[in-house]
Structure 1
Amino acid sequence: MKNIEQTLLKHFVGYIDDRDEYQQKMIIKILADANMMTFILLTVCMMISFIWDAWHHTVSLGTIFLFLIQQLNSYYILVKTKKFDVLKTEVFDEDSYKKELGKIKKSAILSGINWGISMFAWMEFLFPLILNEPIELKWFNVCV
């Protein structure tokens, strides 16, 4: 696997072994940033393709491929971060533990709110719009 990564780095940025530590760090940071931007653009393109398919009542191969590429990228990141144990936050005293726990709770709450608002928008606005149905907001749907 290491040989494949070295070969890919040679093709993308040149021969990696002759670089000093700072250059290697910056190359990896640039590639990580590019991966994040590509992930976001891929998500946007996938949603646009999905809306287009729903509008025309078809399922295109492009939407399926975009979804599969996104999933493979997500699984790769998930497996590698778990393998190298980089998701753990090290704390050394009670105060820093409480601060980190507060950050995690805040992040979880914001993620839940973001997911809820996004799903509400998809279900109540976007899907009826795509299906040429009237948009009806009901308090039951808002509360649930």
Structure 2
Amino acid sequence: MTRKNNSFVDSLLGFIQDRDEREEQMVYEKMTNLFLSSFWILLLFLLISGTVDAYHNTITVGSFLLFTFSVFIISSILIILRKSGLDKEVVYSEEEYQSMLKKVRFRSALAFGLFLLLSLFFNILFKMIVYKELNFDHVNFLVWMIIGILYGLVSYYYAKSKITIEK
């Protein structure tokens, strides 16, 4: 980290003396875990706020701000990783490349399944909240399936483009 960021973290945590590398690594590890936990809690609050908004058939400023903040965090992380070159996967043989592609295929299939299940869940949940009855539409299922397949394919080709073979 830069000296400016180190002084910010030190003042934030109340440190007076400088820390050695091991202690700094431990602090950064703890802060990373707290950030990830906070991010998942933020998404949970967004889900709760969106559910309440669906029940009242409105969109509140709080839900909009939570959504905007979540998108900002995700976008910032992706941009920072891309600018620093940390989003690339490097393999050194064809076997490693095939193994990596197998993992990418599995994750893309998992992304498709998760996207489909969450889309269906939220679609059914919001209809139950708004209309007070379970209403399942096969056309919506087909639409979410097509969108899920497209999402899985895009995520596969995006992840595949990040893998490079160095010899």
Confirm or deny a common fold (TM above 0.5): yes
Determine the C-alpha separation between the residues in 1 that align with 2:137 and 2:57.
26
State the partner residue of 1:99: 99
Q: Which runs of 5+ in 1 are unaligned?
A: none
> Retained in 1: the 8 A contact 2:128–2:135?
no
Which is worse superposed, 64-73 or 47-56? 64-73
* Structure 2 SS opposite 1:19: coil
2:24 equivalent to 1:24: yes
State the partner residue of 2:146: none
2:154 equivalent to 1:134: no
1:25-64 paired onto structure 2 within 5 Å = 25-64=25-64
Determine the C-alpha separation between the residues in 2 that align with 1:127 and 1:9.
42
State the partner residue of 1:108: 108
Aligned letter for 1:129?
M
* Structure 2 SS opposite 1:136: coil
Higher RCO, Cα 8 Å, sep 6+: 2
Q: Deviations over 1:43-81 (max 9, x none)?
A: 010110111112112322211221122122112211111
Determine the C-alpha separation between the residues in 2 that align with 1:139 and 1:51.
23
Q: Which runs of 5+ in 2 are unaligned?
A: 144-167
Determine the C-alpha separation between the residues in 2 that align with 1:79 and 1:62.
25
> Retained in 2: the 8 A contact 1:6–1:16?
no
Aligned residues with identical type, % of pairs: 24
Q: Deviations over 1:73-93 (max 9, x none)?
A: 112211111111112112111
1:113-128 paired onto structure 2 within 5 Å = 113-123=113-123, 125-128=124-127
Determine the C-alpha separation between the residues in 1 that align with 2:25 and 2:115.
34
Deviation at 1:106, TM superposition (A): 0.6
Aligned letter for 1:51?
T
TM-score, scaled to structure 1: 0.86
Which is worse superposed, 43-52 or 57-66? 57-66
> Retained in 2: the 8 A contact 1:16–1:24?
no
